[in-house]
Amino acid sequence: MSPIGSVNPLASPLLNPLDAASPKTGLMLPTGLQSPVPSDGFGKVLDTLVASVSAKQDVSQAMTRKVLLGETDQIHQSVIAMQEASVSFSLMVETRNKLVESYQELMRMQV
C-alpha cells in the first residue's frame, strides 16, 4: 500500500474543516479557509461584495490616472490593479447571473 493511500484524511483534525473550526478542538482554520458567516443577512453580504468591487475599481482608476499624468512610473502595479478590478467585477456579474438563474428556476417550480 502506498503512503498516500494509508493516510486517513478524517483522522487529522487539520484536514477535516468541520472539526478544525469547531470550538471543542480549539483549532481554527487559517483566515483564507474560513467560511464567512454573515450576521446581518444575505443583503449585507451582497452590499459588502459590491462595495469591495467598487473600491477595487476606484484604486485601479487612481493608479492609472497617476501613471497617465506621469506622477509614477509603476505601470505594472496599475495593470495588476486593473486586472484585479476586472476579475472581481466579472465574479460579481457571474454571481448575480447565478442568483437570477436560481430565482427563475424557483419560480418555474410547480407547487
Return the amino acid letter for 57.
Answer: Q
Query: What whole-number percentage of the chain has pLDDT above 90?
Result: 55
Query: Could you tell me the residue ranges of all domains in the chain?
Result: 1-35, 36-108
* Helix (H) or strand (E) run with residue 32 in it: none
Return the amino acid letter for 31.
Answer: T
Angle, vertex CA 49, rays to CA 43 and CA 50, nearest 5: 90
Give pLDDT tens digits for 10-51: 444 444 444 444 445 555 555 555 665 546 788 898 899 999
- pTM to 2 decimal places: 0.59
Smallest CA-to-CA distance from 66 within 55, 79, 56, 51 is with 79
